[in-house]
Structure 1
Amino acid sequence: MPDIVLLPKPQAKARAERPRLYKVILLNDDFTPRDFVVKVLKAVFRMTEAEALGVMLTAHRRGACVVAVFTREVAEAKARQATDMGGQAGYPLAFTTEREE
């Protein structure tokens, strides 16, 4: 009788789930100068002048605007960094994050 070699049954590979994405949202306020908001958007989110101006104007008109979408850690870090830049300059500039549906 020949030697029988039993091979292990192949295991189903666990698929890595895509990380959930989070939106960084710029909240409008009536005190932070527009030029400063554009400066922060360019510095933190690497936007061009035109992109930053468009985001700032949308937030001004609608009360809030989605700036960008990242993984949770990156979104929270960028929102915190941008909000801190406003605070250091004495402005109530605020960014928040929200899970993307």
Structure 2
Amino acid sequence: MNDSVTKPATKTRSKVKTQVQRPRLYKVILVNDDYTPREFVVMILKAEFRMTEDEAYKVMITAHRRGVCVVAVFTRDVAETKATRATDAGRAKGHPLLFTTEPEE
């Protein structure tokens, strides 16, 4: 009689880690114009981007002095939605206010 014990064959499983990439981010940019009142721009920044009065004023002044200013950075869908809503709010009041988006580097 054979006293050796046989072990059942086992399969080893290797764990597979899936790497989830972060979504690409997009900048919302305020483009300066010479016609939209400063107070209106500040109001839009506060309403759409939830900025304080001081933050909105600083963004507006930066765009006024440099021609453009990055307002915020979001995922693509959020950035495009906010830029479109802010631009449309200006157009609804007859202002040429413009917000654009571009990929962050």
TM-score normalised over the length of structure 1? 0.95
Quote the residue 1:94 is aligned against.
98
CA distance in 2, matches of 1:67, 1:2: 66
Q: Deviations over 1:47-86 (max 9, x none)?
A: 0000000000000000000000001110000000100000
Pair member with larger Rg: 2
Q: How does 1:1-101 map to 2 (within 5 A)?
A: 1-8=6-13, 10-101=14-105
Q: Deviations over 1:15-64 (max 9, x none)?
A: 10011110000000001000000000000000000000000000000000
Q: How big is the shift at 1:94?
A: 0.2
The answer for unaligned runs of 5 or more in structure 2 is 1-5
The ranges of structure 1 where at least 4 consecutive aligned residues each deviate by more than 4 angstroms after the TM superposition are none
Percent identity for Structure 1 against Structure 2 = 63
The answer for unaligned runs of 5 or more in structure 1 is none
SS of 2:48 mapped into structure 1: helix
Q: What letter is aligned with 1:6?
A: K
Q: How big is the shift at 1:11?
A: 4.3
TM-score normalised over the length of structure 2? 0.91
